A and B are shown apart, each in its own frame.
Chain A
């Protein structure tokens, strides 16, 4: 099962994503340079974290016009799984593949720490078989990760169960202290209406080895592999 890890100038979690995916049985990741125009032959797409184009103008604002993004948008429309982590989430929002936007943290600080997130839906391709309410320990490292959307969009996201992860405290409660970047309703990750595009600020790619403090990120990548395997066996 082939995963494309897109490399933009300024991506710095591309190796983390590649390494994490190499540890997932069934996943076979490869880098794809942002100047490429085709993603033919890939089963899933990963937009890694980093500082594409130096975060100039707005995070992800310039990367969304990279040549490869046409193929990402087409593949997303065709139903392929797309996951955007951190800067990848910002790019997906800028590209209009996900609603809302990510703005400066409430505290103005760049925050680098382990966060606790709660799985809100178990029927997404990215959380397949992970029971609702499961707590995932995933590291976060960003200055602009405060999720914002207008009231109608937020209502829509909740109504269609598109919020996949929320920041919570150790007891699994969505407190305002646990919402350290000030995201609306503690939102840490959302998917699109079709549920095949997922963006999240925490890094599952940096949580795939217990020696790094958590291996909870593997659940997300394993879920993608399982979803694609199911789709392919149904199609066969």
Chain B
């Protein structure tokens, strides 16, 4: 059912979409005074193109009703932020393995692993 558009758009403005740029490791201080590196890794999981995404279709229709008839397609996936201790050296292969085995199901989903390769110093 089409909804009233008035008063809705203002609320949308200024809402930031999460920045997906890879993060560099940061140094954090622990209680002991020891400084350890921490690194954030981001994983984006999306349904494969061949898989019908009824959630995405429902959101697409809602967006069309709310004043964006030009919305052609919406696909809903998952976004994970993973914090690692250390600078991520040597973790990449294991992270890919866990992306395939646990974080995504390769039958129905694709994944993208975002980590800063330069961080491995």
Q: A residues engaging B (CB < 8 A)?
A: 57-58, 61-62, 65, 93-94, 99-101, 103-108, 146, 148-150, 182
Contacts and interface: CB of A to CB of B under 8 A. Distances in A.
Given A57-B103, A93-B107, 14 more contacts: A57-B78, A61-B102, A61-B105, A62-B102, A100-B107, A104-B55, A106-B52, A106-B54, A108-B54, A108-B55, A146-B52, A148-B51, A148-B108, A182-B54
Interface in B45-65: 47, 50-52, 54-55, 58
A221 B93 CA distance: 44
A65 B101 CA distance: 10
Contacts of A105: 54
A131 B105 CA distance: 35
A5 B27 CA distance: 48
Contacts of B54: 104-108, 182
A58 B105 contact: yes
Interface residues of B, number: 13
B50, B58, B78, B102: most-surrounded residue (chain A CB, <10 A): B102
Contacts of B58: 108
Most chain A CB within a 10 A radius of its CB, from B78, B103, B108 = B108
A104 B55 CA distance: 8
B102 A103 contact: no
A103 B55 contact: no
Contacts of B102: 57, 61-62, 65
Instruction: Give the top 4 A-B pairs by smallest Cβ distance, nearest first.
Output: A101-B107, A101-B108, A108-B54, A106-B54
Contacts of B108: 101, 103, 148
Contacts of B105: 58, 61, 94, 101
* Majority SS at the chain A contact face: loop
A115 B105 CA distance: 28
Contact of A150 (B55, B103, B107): B107
B60 to A, nearest CB: 13
Contact of A182 (B47, B52, B103, B107): B52
A37 to B, nearest CB: 20
A131 B108 CA distance: 34
Contacts of A104: 54-55
26 contacts: A57-B78, A57-B102, A58-B105, A61-B102, A61-B105, A62-B102, A101-B105, A101-B107, A101-B108, A103-B47, A103-B51, A103-B52, A104-B54, A104-B55, A105-B54, A106-B52, A106-B54, A108-B54, A108-B58, A148-B51, A148-B52, A148-B108, A149-B107, A150-B107, A182-B52, A182-B54
Contacts of B47: 103
